[in-house]
Structure 1
Amino acid sequence: MRKLFLSTVFLLMYLLVHAQILDSTILVCQYKANTIKITAQSPMNDLIRLEIGKSISKSYSVYSARSDSFELAPNYQARFTQMSEQVRQSIMSGMDLNDAIESSGILPVRDRVVIYKNHPKEKITVLDRINDKQYEYMDKLNSQNWEIQADTMTILGYTCQKAITEWRGRHYEAWFASEIPINEGPMKFGGLPGLIFKLNDVDKEYNYEIEGIEKKTLPIEMNIPIKQKEFIKTDRKKFVHTYRNFLKHFGLVMAAESGIDVATDASLKEKKYDLMELDIH
């Protein structure tokens, strides 16, 4: 118990010392998300937290943030090695990979991307991870070209209006509430005359729906690198190409690092990995 307490204190002190405060929140939203797990091309559930400040917002996965905190703990490597061995033994006994991971106690990792809108001004800073390397690149703010329609629906008691767009290879529909006149939404989405409550592409591969809104004042913090001293600076096109190259060899990389055989050479050659943004090949 004492060791756990000391580890928690160490973690909190580490985060406080290294955190960079960018803004403070005026509104905090949480979205239920059902999206594609890129490395498996299968559905996964997630929770996306949107912290809206006076001038900057931050969007990120709650589950991945918890996993990152776990990785900062002093005894992380030993615990992860032990859990990985438990996963390997479970798979050898016939258990499904996802069930084996869940039963091991390994915290779920979902979308790794962290998005800071209007940081710097009129741009987006994107932090993302590919395996053990962490990257940073700039993107356009409010890059969606929306067409607002007459349809309405009620979500959490708010009247929301429909808008559609074609963005980076996918067709999306969004439902926004003019009653909350903030041009924000989950992930990289925004630019409408109201907060986005619901968003999905027409193929239903990326789905986000708000489940809670709260007025509160909290610091909006800039993430610190977990795996290295600083983020690797790149651009969106180079990042996507690097990501696709990693995915082609994902199974072999995982097998080498964890000892868990998740794919064969033959299956990797035939695998097609679709990212959220399909405009870069």
Structure 2
Amino acid sequence: MTGLPALEIGGSHVTAALVDPVTGEVGPRVRRSLDGDAQAPVLLAAIASAGLSVCPGGGWGVAVPGPFDYEAGVGRFAGVGKFAALNGVDVGAGLRARLGGPVRFVNDAVAFGLGEWRWGSARGHARAVGVTLGTGIGSSFLADGRPVTAGTEVPPEGRADLLRIDGVPLEDVVSGRAVVSACRAAGGSPATVADVLAAAGAGDPAARAVVDRTYHLLGAALSPWLTTFEATILVVGGGISAAWDLVSPPLRRGLATDVPVVRAADTEAAALRGATQYAVDRTRTHR
């Protein structure tokens, strides 16, 4: 198919595909593993290799997790357990040289929200909130498709991960690592959050209690912001959303609002679409 090239970078993978900027159709994806502990040249080469396999050249939309200076294209991955070698590195220059074209960076959760607003479950909603649940938690608050990152109607910087629950950072409660830690404290021995979710689904009472408490707290933390933002929909994606039957009931119970809560059909596709949309919008405004 024809389309614009996009990259979605995760903590352990990179996905490349062409995206039709009109229909949102995502072409065949190339997904490759990334070693988060690798040196910068190795990481940049791996990311570019995935991209070049779908499009030699062109202008790229790139969804990347924070902390990152999206305007400058510089990594800020200090002390976050991933991509340490990219901290302070001009990722934009590195990818431009390897991909042979311009790149536009956008936060991966914002890209997810944009993709869902334009082509997914949040389509037609003037005030949409997107949340991604995985290694950490990402969020986007969109007003008519525009990310809102300041003001009293959204959390600081529009980031749910900066919220606190009983004085504890939200990410330390609902991230994948937090779920694993809570389950181990309850007597379990999971290696990953997938193990916790599998045990909860199989009826393990300790794992189920951890899952119920975790996502009830997430709902309680998000609830006042959905209200102040006047959200008309909450879309949830990320790897943990695959266990929707386990996650959604406590999440809904924690929300003191009747805002509809839906699961994204395809988080990765949404991020690729959103990265494309962002790149197109930025190119138009900088002509």
Give me the TM-score of the superposition, normalised by structure 2. Answer: 0.27
Give me the TM-score of the superposition, normalised by structure 1. Answer: 0.27
Question: Which structure's residues are more often strand, by fraction?
Answer: 1
Question: Which structure's residues are more often helix, by fraction?
Answer: 2
Work out which of the two has the higher radius of gyration on C-alpha atoms and give 1 or 2: 1
